[in-house]
């Protein structure tokens, strides 16, 4: 994120996703969130400090806007929202703009349909669907996953190939973002899919996309940090596991994901760079999985792994995200 001074500089290249970060005492949070909801496209809040008992003292509150606000007018709105709460607004208001290369922004800016393997990812109901393709109607909105990013592309190519050669009945898509991979898996083969994300906005967007694609009877979307939700662990083992996250969390998740994979199942991993691929593969080899395919869209890599026996592990703890509201 790059800070901008918000003094009326001309808008370049259309609307940009903006974030305004505040610090608020825990006691103010319920009222503050209620008052912020009409002002923002989304509001997320994270614990900033906790007391000895682990109870939150203060929250970091992010106000997300689909376009840069007029600073003076937005400040007045915020002052009204904060009235009577023990909260001092920073001066000047820290309005930060997401650069276009960030994943979220890339997802928001894409509008043209894209064809990946058999999948035709398109944004509008009225788009003509090429013959022989599997359409995915996708409004990425504030969630990552429009088909434009090389990691999503790599995963869709892997799903396309796997669906041609293998049967799968139960699928896990961890880090589902917009739901694109879950929808692709559900449309390529008749199967049941559990899609999960630790971002409540992604969960909301994915649910809507699943509904718009007519696969809501087969795709269940859940809020979960890793595999923390018991329902996810109960739903396994899965014949196919998809996880397009990042190198570090993927390595951390290796024991849990390996355990969730059925014997002989396949796992598609992405979200890491060429130079990180060996470390990711090693993390999964240690859990008995072996890489069987590598898809490169430089500098990003997608790995397909074949499942072996999994080791028992304890679930990862719930993350620090505590409250969020969005519209
Ligand atoms: C790169 S996006 C992938 C979105 C979509 N699956 C795709 O392939 O385009 C990664 C997603 O993983 C989610 N995520 C990251 N870490 C996670 C975790 N530990 N548990 C669940 N979701 C996670 C993020 O919120 C984000 O929506």
More confident site: 277 or 205? 277
Reported as a pLDDT band with limits 50, 70 and 90, residue 126 is: confident
Winning range, highest mean pLDDT, from 71-80, 143-152, 195-204: 71-80
245 lines ligand 1 (CB under 6 A): yes
User: From the CA of 321, how far away is ligand 1's center (Å)?
Assistant: 15
Q: Which tokens belong to 243?
A: 């996880």
User: From the CA of 249, how far away is ligand 1's center (Å)?
Assistant: 10
209 lines ligand 1 (CB under 6 A): no
Nearest-CA residue for ligand 1 atom 18 is: 226
Would you say 241 and 262 are in contact if contact means Cβ atoms under 8 Å apart?
no
pLDDT tops 80 at residue 238: yes
- The predicted structure's pLDDT at residue 319: 29
- The predicted structure's pLDDT at residue 320: 31
Of all atoms in ligand 1, which is nearest to the CA of residue 143? 27
To test the ligand 1 pocket, which listed residue (104, 119, 144) has its Cβ within 8 A of the most ligand atoms?
A: 144
User: From the CA of 75, how far away is ligand 1's center (Å)?
Assistant: 32
User: Hey, which residues does 325 pair with through a beta bridge?
Assistant: 43
Find all residues with CB under 8 Å of 158, minimum gap 6, and list them.
268, 293, 295, 302, 304
pLDDT tops 50 at residue 64: yes
Per-residue pLDDT tens digits for 302-316:
999 998 743 433 333
d(CA 240, CA 170): 7
- The predicted structure's pLDDT at residue 80: 95
Structure-token match 């990180």, residue found: 276
pLDDT tops 80 at residue 141: no
User: From the CA of 197, how far away is ligand 1's center (Å)?
Assistant: 6
CB neighbourhood size of 259 (10 A)? 18
User: From the CA of 198, how far away is ligand 1's center (Å)?
Assistant: 7
Nearest Cα to Cα of residue 244 among 158, 135, 318 = 158
pLDDT tops 50 at residue 283: yes
- The predicted structure's pLDDT at residue 144: 62
The mean pLDDT of 222-234, rounded to a whole number, is 93
Of all atoms in ligand 1, which is nearest to the CA of residue 316? 19
Residue extents of the structural domains in the chain: 2-99, 143-326
239 lines ligand 1 (CB under 6 A): no
116 lines ligand 1 (CB under 6 A): no
User: From the CA of 180, how far away is ligand 1's center (Å)?
Assistant: 11
- The predicted structure's pLDDT at residue 29: 85
Least confident of 107-116, 132-141, 225-234, 317-326: 317-326
More confident site: 37 or 99? 37
pLDDT tops 50 at residue 235: yes
User: From the CA of 144, how far away is ligand 1's center (Å)?
Assistant: 8
The mean pLDDT of 271-284, rounded to a whole number, is 94
CATH number of 143-326: 3.40.50.150
Least confident of 112-126, 160-174, 262-276: 112-126
Per-residue pLDDT tens digits for 289-303:
999 999 998 889 999
104 lines ligand 1 (CB under 6 A): no
Considering the chain, what is the average pLDDT of its residues? Answer: 82
137 lines ligand 1 (CB under 6 A): no
- The predicted structure's pLDDT at residue 97: 82
Nearest Cα to Cα of residue 179 among 199, 160, 157, 158 = 199
pLDDT tops 60 at residue 108: no
pLDDT tops 80 at residue 76: yes
User: From the CA of 85, how far away is ligand 1's center (Å)?
Assistant: 34
Q: Which CATH architecture has domain 2-99?
A: 2-Layer Sandwich (3.30)
Nearest-CA residue for ligand 1 atom 1 is: 245
């Amino acid at each position: 994120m790059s800070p901008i001074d918000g003094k009326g500089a001309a808008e370049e290249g259309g609307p940009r996703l903006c974030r305004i970060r505040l610090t608020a005492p825990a006691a103010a949070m319920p009222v503050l969130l209620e008052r912020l909801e009409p002002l923002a496209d989304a509001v997320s809040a994270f614990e900033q400090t906790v007391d000895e008992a682990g109870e939150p003292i203060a929250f970091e509150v992010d106000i997300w806007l689909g376009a840069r606000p007029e600073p003076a007018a937005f400040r007045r709105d915020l002052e009204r929202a904060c009235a009577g709460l023990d909260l001092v607004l920073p001066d000047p208001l820290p309005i930060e703009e997401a650069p276009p290369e960030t994943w979220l922004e890339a997802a928001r800016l894409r509008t043209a349909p894209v064809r990946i393997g058999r999948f035709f990812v398109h944004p509008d109901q009225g788009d003509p669907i090429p013959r022989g393709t599997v359409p995915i109607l996708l409004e990425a909105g504030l969630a990552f996953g429009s088909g434009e990013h090389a990691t999503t592309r790599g995963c869709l190519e892997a799903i396309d190939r796997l669906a041609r050669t293998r049967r799968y009945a139960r699928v896990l898509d961890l880090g589902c973002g917009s739901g694109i991979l879950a929808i692709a898996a559900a449309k390529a083969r008749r199967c049941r899919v559990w899609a999960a994300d630790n971002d409540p906005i992604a969960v909301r967007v994915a649910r809507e996309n699943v509904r718009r694609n007519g696969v809501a009877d087969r795709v269940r979307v859940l809020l979960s940090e890793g595999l923390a939700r018991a329902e996810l662990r109960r739903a396994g083992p899965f014949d196919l596991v998809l996880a397009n996250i990042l190198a570090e969390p993927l390595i951390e998740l290796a024991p849990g994901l390996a355990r969730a994979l059925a014997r002989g199942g396949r796992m598609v991993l992405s979200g890491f760079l060429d130079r990180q691929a060996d470390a990711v593969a090693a993390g999964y080899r240690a859990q008995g999985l072996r890489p069987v395919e590598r898809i490169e869209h430089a500098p990003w890599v997608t790995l397909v792994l074949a499942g072996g026996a999994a080791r028992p592990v304890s679930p990862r703890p719930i993350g620090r995200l505590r409250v969020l509201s969005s519209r």
